[in-house]
Amino acid sequence: MSKSLNLFGGAAVATAVVLTAAHNFADRTVVPLPKQADLIDHEAPSNMDSLFIAAAIAQEVAQEGKFGLGRPALPEEVAAWDLDIAPDGRNLPVGSGDVWTGDEVFAENCAVCHGDFAEGAGNWPKLAGGQDTLDRDDPLKTVGSYWPYLSTTFDYVRRSMPFGNAQSLSDDEVYAITAYILYSNDLVDEDFVLSNETFMDVEMPNANGFIVDDRETAEAHFWTDTPCMENCKDEVKITMKATVLDVTPDEVGEDEAAADAPAAEVQVAAAEEAPAAEQPAADAPAAAPAAAIDMALAEAGEKVFKKCKACHQVGDGAKNRTGPELNGILGRAIGGMDGFKYSKVLSEMGGAWDHDTLAAFLADPKGYAKGTKMSFAGLKKEDDVNAVIEYLKQFQ
């Protein structure tokens, strides 16, 4: 028992000594906090009166419920921002533009994306065409086929075009471009002048093609009826395979390959017999020499023909597109290209394309053939007309 007391007594004495030493050490090393902390000195404002004035103004503005920021907009600033053109023609600027001027301005500012005839270049939007397509699965929605208000065209061109250089066009240029777009959709004649006075005279084909959205009432039964949760449909019967419906493309099977075999054999046989037919008869008359082509003029015509390439093809592999292919156009019957659907006026015109008839048509398509589907305004320069014809002679 005495041994345990000695152990505990020694430990207690040692603990007391350590605590006393720690307390004395802490008192000597801890620096007391100052009675008042040092403050960062700030340079006093040079004009104390301005602070009081600003505070008074801020208090007055706060009492009025305003922040006191900004200023009233100037009339010029409001006019530059307020560009809306209403469907009834309100806010139209004073100005005018004709189709021919629009053709030139459109070519300089719009054709790179929308094509020379507003037919669209690449994947850029088409502005012309699409008539009678709105009831199809893939309608072509253009200014002429879909847009109900002409004000939308004018407003958008004026506000946002040309791409990358918006609002750089004058009001007269916007009127001219809009007139050319109308002309490209066969909505106005080539001598039409669009202005703030004639704007409402234009009738848009789809002006009455929109209806009020009545789905909230007309389709209410779809979500008001109690939904069916089980045994909702009668037995499903397969009536026809998808491959027969032409929904899923079918792979060429052995039966189809066998069916194609006789045709291949006929082609091979014809090819084997062809050499004998290729030998010309000894007494066959020589072909008449082709008229000499002015190559310098033809090269110039190739550059002008770029205006035609969007709709017409020439050369090997040429096919009908928006317009007929033009191989052998000189001497061809007017409206006589097989497989192409011409406008009624060209189908019934009769005659053949020679230098004179083709030149007259290229200079003024809608004047030469009133009602033609060709939307091109025509080549204004006689030299360009002759150059294109000379270029086409190479593909006779």
What pTM value is reported for the model?
Answer: 0.46
> Backbone dihedral region of 118: left (phi > 0), alpha (psi from -120 to 50 degrees) or beta?
left
Q: What is the pLDDT of residues 280-333, one digit of tens each?
A: 444 444 444 456 888 888 888 888 887 787 678 888 888 887 788 889 888 889
Q: Which pair of structure tokens corresponds to residue 252? A: 């060429």
Q: Cβ distance 350 to 336 under 8 Å?
A: no
Nearest to 158 by CA among 135, 176, 132: 176
Dihedral Cα 265, 266, 267, 268, nearest 10 deg: 50
Cα 167 from chain centroid (whole Å):
18
pLDDT band at 56 (very low <50, low <70, confident <90, very high): low
Per-residue DSSP letters for 50-115? HHHHHHHHHHHHHHHT----S-PPPHHHHHHH-----TT-TTPPS-EEEHHHHHHHHHHHTHHHH-
Q: Cβ distance 296 to 315 under 8 Å?
A: no
What is the pLDDT, as a whole number, of residue 265?
Answer: 45
Cβ neighbourhood burial of 301 (10 Å; 0-12, 13-18, 19+): buried
What is the pLDDT, as a whole number, of residue 42?
Answer: 53
Q: How far is CA 93 from CA 75, 104, 150, 199, 248, in A?
A: 16, 21, 14, 11, 55
Higher-pLDDT residue of 173 and 379 is: 173
What is the pLDDT, as a whole number, of residue 20?
Answer: 75
Nearest to 372 by CA among 300, 322, 302: 322
CA distance 153 to 174: 9
Q: What domains can be seen in the chain, in order of their start residue?
A: 82-201 (1.10.760.10), 295-395 (1.10.760.10)
Q: Is the pLDDT at 28 greater than 50, yes or no?
A: yes
Q: Is the pLDDT at 263 greater than 50, yes or no?
A: no
